[in-house]
Chains A and B, each alone.
Chain A
Amino acid sequence: EVQLVESGGGLVQPGRSLRLSCSASGFIFDDYAMHWVRQAPGRGLEWLSSISWNSGSLGYADSVKGRFTISRDNGKASVYLDINSLTTDDTALYYCGKGLIRGDSGGYALEYWGQGTLVTVSS
């Protein structure tokens, strides 16, 4: 059974940094692209970033480029999202997702999602 478990969320002050983690199991992690998506309160889904199976291809939404950094550790079957200079606009539920297509740099779509980790940015 595929499982994705996000962690690292919580209450953070504006201007601080945060690292979100996503631990994966139930599939060959090394073979798939991984993504981060968020949903702010009352808003829709927003794609944030992706990393290919070998970390050779990274992608970022224009809205977060330069402030968010994605990385992965295939030995730990984990993907990470580093967020700098947090603002109240970053308050959201952050999901990690597994790409659908094995070996593709992006994976086409997100076949499996975690339950999300909540980030609240407030002073």
Chain B
Amino acid sequence: EVLMTQSPGSVSVSPGERVTLSCRASQSIDTNLAWYQHKFGQAPRLLIYGASTRVTGVPARFTGGGSGTEFTLTIGSLQSADSAVYYCQHYNNGPARWTFGQGTKLEIK
């Protein structure tokens, strides 16, 4: 099972600024990585898959990058609505054995 480790655990940023969240895999996963936004009381929302492909409707200020074991999610022009927990998730080919990172809590000051 691939272990996904996210950093930082939490971060507080001012509106209008940019933040980069990190996700590290315990072994190479190519670009088999997705990012989700999870707000309290709501279902998680898929933002990015294939490490860098935005889902339809996701603003361009959400940018995913990386491959192998190191991945990033950069959110520009931060808004109060971006406050949420962000999770990375590894997916594999064949019978699924997915794993989530532990999440990064983003607070907009």
Could you tell me which residues of chain A, from 54 to 83, have a CB within 8 Å of some CB in chain B?
A: 57-62
- With a CB–CB cut-off of 8 A, which chain B residues contact A45? 36, 38, 44, 87, 89, 100, 103
Looking at the complex, which one of A37, A105, A113 makes contact with B94 (CB distance below 8 Å)? A105
A114 touches B94 (CB 8 A): no
Interface SS majority for chain B: loop
In the complex, whether B62 has a CB less than 8 A from a CB of chain A is: no
A44 touches B85 (CB 8 A): yes
Known: A45-B87, A111-B55. A105 touches B95 (CB 8 A): yes
- A60 vs B85: C-alpha distance when bound (angstroms): 24
Count A-B pairs with CB separation below 8 Å.
79
Question: Which residue among A44, A49, A58, A115 has the maximum number of chain B CB atoms within 10 Å of its CB?
Answer: A44
In the complex, whether A106 has a CB less than 8 A from a CB of chain B is: yes
Known: A47-B89, A50-B96, A57-B95. A108 touches B43 (CB 8 A): no
16 more A-B residue pairs beyond the given contacts A37-B100, A57-B94, with a C-beta to C-beta distance below 8 A: A45-B44, A45-B89, A45-B100, A47-B98, A49-B96, A58-B95, A61-B1, A105-B94, A106-B94, A106-B98, A107-B91, A108-B32, A109-B46, A109-B89, A111-B55, A115-B43
Which residues of B pack against A, CB within 8 Å? 1, 32, 34, 36, 38, 43-44, 46, 49-50, 55, 85, 87, 89, 91-103
